Amino acid sequence: MDIESVELRVLHLPLVQPFTTSFGTETVREVIVVRVRTSAGDGWGEIVTQHAPLYSSEYTGGAWDVARRFLVPALLAQRRLTPQRVANVLAPFVGHRMVKAGLELAVLDASLRRAGRSLAGFLGGVVPRIPAGVSVGIQADAAALVDAVGGYLGEGYRRIKIKIAPGRDVADTAAVRAAFPEIALQVDANSAYTLDDVDTLAALDAYDLLLIEQPLQEDDLVDHARLAARLRTPVCLDESIVSDKAAADALALGAAAIINIKAGRVGGYLEARRIHDRCVAAGVPVWCGGMLETGIGRAANAALASLPGFTLPGDVSASSRFYRHDIVAEPITLDDGFVTVPSGDGLGIEIDHAAVEAATVERLDVRA
């Protein structure tokens, strides 16, 4: 397969409500979509960077620059490219994993469409549908949070994750647990704490949480291991797991009992599968995280989450969780609290070109 050109677009998609985490509030999802035109047909991918480098050092402006100046030209210089070779071709460029993941996904989509295979089949998915979890942002107060959680439970979501931050942790968690004693509940701190906060974090042990996600900084693996020894709630890592190697190190150190796998953060769906395989071998549960994906990445995440090691519900929600108008012809929906794993060729989606066009704020065609 030869790549003929790569179209990059920055989209602005308004969110149905603001999304607040320990690192900030978003009201518009800024995302880059990728269309590769190849000798074998087109493929689509999504680069999950956000507007500002708050969750990760990666951000959309930097992603745009590195994609157009370095990564896309490197792919265009290749003959007979396969999805498996994309990571090797891009490996000399340090970091920028979200960009690499989005480019690899577009090549994967084109290649699998040509081969008449689904992404889930290619990755080794084993189930036709996956239980849906939802990530709930910090609300105005604990009562508003309980209302928001109740709304999602009413829609059928099978697991709730609430965002926490210093000052919005124990009381918020207690309120949700008191209102819904039986639900599967977990919290995500997005790196907002230090080891000095161990007493606050240990207080969360009282609320029967599935896990606490990323309490400390991205590079605090040793401190996460120290913290884990002080908590009953299992520690799950998100930001820290930037690669399969990082996952191996975290497991070796006892820094994570559970891993949130995000294909964007780790450089692609092939690397994500390697982390999955490693965790299965180690007996460590994994779940599929999200980055407010459009229907492109959302479909790919559903495929990834259908692998056998994804034994916990992920942040794979309906398109309507974030968007009134998704950019795919058939948005991801909930059916009895489950998301159907796409079975069509490639990502199994059709692009809503008018919706893409309407959301585009910047467009660039890079040619060989």
Residue 262 is a catalytic residue: yes
> Residue of minimal CB distance from Mg ion?
238
Q: Is 315 in the site for Mg ion (CB under 5 A)?
A: no
Estimate to the nearest angstrom the gap between the alpha carbon of 41 and the chain centroid: 26
Among 172, 227, 174, 219, which residue's Cα sits nearest to residue 196?
227
Answer for which of 55, 122, 287, 310 binds ligand OSB (CB under 6 A) is 55
Among 233, 235, 209, which residue's Cα sits nearest to residue 221?
235
Q: Is 290 in the site for ligand OSB (CB under 6 A)?
A: yes
Minimum CB distance to Mg ion, residue 22 (Å): 10
DSSP codes, 194-211: -GGGHHHHHHGGGG--S-
Residue 245 is a catalytic residue: no
Minimum CB distance to ligand OSB, residue 256 (Å): 14
Q: Is 238 in the site for Mg ion (CB under 5 A)?
A: yes
Distance from the first to the final alpha carbon of the chain: 14
| Residues near Mg ion (CB under 5 A), total | 3
342 binding partner (options Mg ion, ligand OSB, none; Cβ < 5 to 8 Å by kind):
none
The rounded distance, in Å, linking the Cα atoms of 206 and 232 is 9
Cβ closer to ligand OSB: 3 or 211?
211
Count of helices and strands (H, E) across the chain: 14, 13
C-alpha torsion sign, points 337, 343, 344, 347: positive
135 binding partner (options ligand OSB, Mg ion, none; Cβ < 5 to 8 Å by kind):
ligand OSB
**Do residues 96 and 74 touch, judged by C-beta distance below 8 A?**
no
Which stretch in 210-218, 250-258, 262-270, 344-352 sits in contact with Mg ion by CB under 5 A? 210-218
Find tokens 């994906």 and name the residue.
293
Q: Is 188 in the site for Mg ion (CB under 5 A)?
A: yes
Q: Is 109 in the site for ligand OSB (CB under 6 A)?
A: no
Cβ closer to Mg ion: 104 or 188?
188
Please identify every residue annotated as catalytic.
163, 262
Residues that bind ligand OSB (CB under 6 A): 55, 135, 188, 190, 238, 289-292, 315, 317
